Amino acid sequence: MATDYYSVLGVGRDASQDQIKKAFRRLARELHPDVNPDPKTQERFKEINAAYEVLSDPQKKQVYDLGGDPLSQSGGAGGAGGFGAGFGNFSDIMDAFFGTASQRGPRSRTRRGQDAMIRLDVELSEAAFGTTKDIQVDTAVVCTTCSGEGAAPGTSAQTCDMCRGRGEVSQVTRSFLGQVMTSRPCPQCQGFGTVVPTPCPECAGDGRVRSRRTLTVKIPAGVDNGTRIQLAGEGEVGPGGGPAGDLYVEIHELPHAVFQRRGDDLHCTVTIPMTAASLGTKCPLETLDGMEEVDVRPGTQSGQSIPLHGRGVTHLRGNGRGDLIVHVEVQTPTKLDPEQEELLRRLAKLRGEERPQGQFQPGQQGLFSRLKDAFNGR
Ligand SMILES: [Zn+2]
Ligand SMILES: [Zn+2]
């Protein structure tokens, strides 16, 4: 005896038909060639099929239980093998997958097309307020010569004479216990059920051709780097004139000369002289909304920030806009001429700042205490 069909299915010799069926279903799902194309696994798949073929059939099971191998005499599994041998119970396999006996027909030549993606550069202001843009897309479209049919004009697809349009061919193997019917996709029509004798010269029978077209895309306000806009049905048309996939437009925001975007807020730095920081000033700034004046209050410190509320990017979801935040950097004058130096010395004297001690503070408290703790081994 070559194979222990019970151990192949992982069931005991006293397993019920129900247990055998369950074990087979579980293994078939796991080892089906469509799921697991590894050759070793396929060999296992054939084994479990053979085991199930025997153990699910009361007559064959009896022969097997009495010490015979019902398959080796059928000329199927024990012989040359091939497709028919391992796939004797096709309906049971389909049953395992779909829970019902299969009713296979020819497969359709028409399939859904692939999704496509295109990157689109936008300016910061376009991202902030939204815009419409024309984009050039190069995708597969339905072949107009054959309207997606794939057949040359004046000709048409014809029913396959090998399978008579069924898309599969059946073979009956006679065994001493009865007939075993096996099916496989028709080799002449690849399972389509039809053949195209004269393919369309334009698309070589694919039903689609590549074409460049212009699309107008609406960019909503608030998009950011990496935002994807889905254009349903604008992707590749499928083979055989199948429905088109979707086109995704991925936003790439171009850097701005002045503003740096963080979320929906914009940041920039303004450098002002020490005197202006002390006396106050107004700095003109070209915002996304036009020219505005940044009000630098008297006594502004270096590192202070001045927010312009609602001058940032529009929130993509919800209402309102982010802020524009101006960071102030105060410049200390260098290269003083004698008069300027004299003026500053006078100012220092008037303010009692001739010998400033400086004010020391426990700056960066957190970091400092962490360092201290590290030294103390805590
Ligand atoms: Zn055929
Ligand atoms: Zn064509």
Residue 290 exposed, middle or buried by CB count within 10 Å (0-12, 13-18, 19+)? exposed
Q: Does residue 305 lie in a domain region?
A: yes
From 96-100, 120-124, 196-200, the region with the lowest mean pLDDT: 96-100
Q: Does residue 312 lie in a domain region?
A: yes
Same domain, 268 and 351: yes
Q: In angstroms, what is the span from residue 196 Cα to ligand 1's centroid?
A: 11
DSSP state of 232: T
Type of residue numbered 363: G
Least distant ligand from the CA of 159 = 1
Least distant ligand from the CA of 148 = 2
Query: Confidence class of residue 368 from pLDDT cuts 50, 70 and 90?
Result: low
Query: Confidence class of residue 47 from pLDDT cuts 50, 70 and 90?
Result: confident
Q: Which residues contact 376 (CB under 8 A, 6 or more apart)?
A: none
Same domain, 266 and 249: no
Domain count, the chain: 2
C-alpha to C-alpha distances, 189 to 106, 112, 195, 196, 343, nearest whole angstrom:
9, 20, 6, 9, 98
Query: Confidence class of residue 342 from pLDDT cuts 50, 70 and 90?
Result: very high
Crossing angle of helices 17-31 and 90-98, in 10° steps, is 80
Q: Do the bridges between strand 208-219 and strand 131-142 make them parallel or antiparallel, or are there none, so unpaired? A: antiparallel
DSSP, residue by residue, 43-90: HHHHHHHHHHHHHTSHHHHHHHHTT--TTTTTTSTTTT-HHHHHTTTH
Q: In angstroms, what is the span from residue 320 Cα to ligand 2's centroid?
A: 51
Query: Confidence class of residue 340 from pLDDT cuts 50, 70 and 90?
Result: very high
Q: Does residue 308 lie in a domain region?
A: yes
Share the mean pLDDT of the chain: 84
Q: In angstroms, what is the span from residue 42 Cα to ligand 1's centroid?
A: 25
Can you give the residue range of the structural domain that contains 347?
A: 260-356+363-375
| End-to-end CA separation in angstroms for the chain | 73
Q: Does residue 51 lie in a domain region?
A: no
Closest CA to 182 of 193, 167, 168: 168
Q: In angstroms, what is the span from residue 161 Cα to ligand 1's centroid?
A: 6
Strands (E), 143-246: 158-159, 168-175, 178-185, 194-195, 208-219, 228-231
Q: Does residue 12 lie in a domain region?
A: no
Least distant ligand from the CA of 239 = 2
Query: Confidence class of residue 357 from pLDDT cuts 50, 70 and 90?
Result: confident
- Of 220, 238, 254, which residue sits at a domain end? 254
Query: Confidence class of residue 376 from pLDDT cuts 50, 70 and 90?
Result: low
Name 68's bridge partners: none
**Cα–Cα distance for residue pair 65/207, rounded to 1 Å:** 56
pLDDT at residue 62, as a whole number: 83
Same domain, 270 and 238: no
Crossing angle of helices 17-31 and 39-55, in 10° steps, is 160
Least distant ligand from the CA of 203 = 2
Same domain, 250 and 117: yes
Q: In angstroms, what is the span from residue 113 Cα to ligand 2's centroid?
A: 16
Q: In angstroms, what is the span from residue 241 Cα to ligand 2's centroid?
A: 9
C-alpha to C-alpha distances, 8 to 31, 82, 90, nearest whole angstrom:
13, 20, 18
Helix (H), strand (E) counts: the chain: 10, 15
The pocket of ion ligand 1, defined by CB under 5 A, consists of: 160, 162-163, 186, 188-189
Least distant ligand from the CA of 169 = 1
**Cα–Cα distance for residue pair 318/274, rounded to 1 Å:** 41
Q: Does residue 321 lie in a domain region?
A: yes
Least distant ligand from the CA of 150 = 2
CATH number, domain at 228?
A: 2.60.260.20
Residue 67, Cα to own-chain centre: how many angstroms? Answer: 54
Same domain, 123 and 214: yes
Same domain, 139 and 243: yes
**10-26: pLDDT as tens digits:** 898 888 888 898 888 88
Q: Does residue 180 lie in a domain region?
A: no
Least distant ligand from the CA of 160 = 1
pLDDT at residue 103, as a whole number: 45
Least distant ligand from the CA of 152 = 2
pLDDT at residue 82, as a whole number: 35
Structure tokens given for 167: 């898309």
Same domain, 312 and 230: no
Same domain, 213 and 293: no
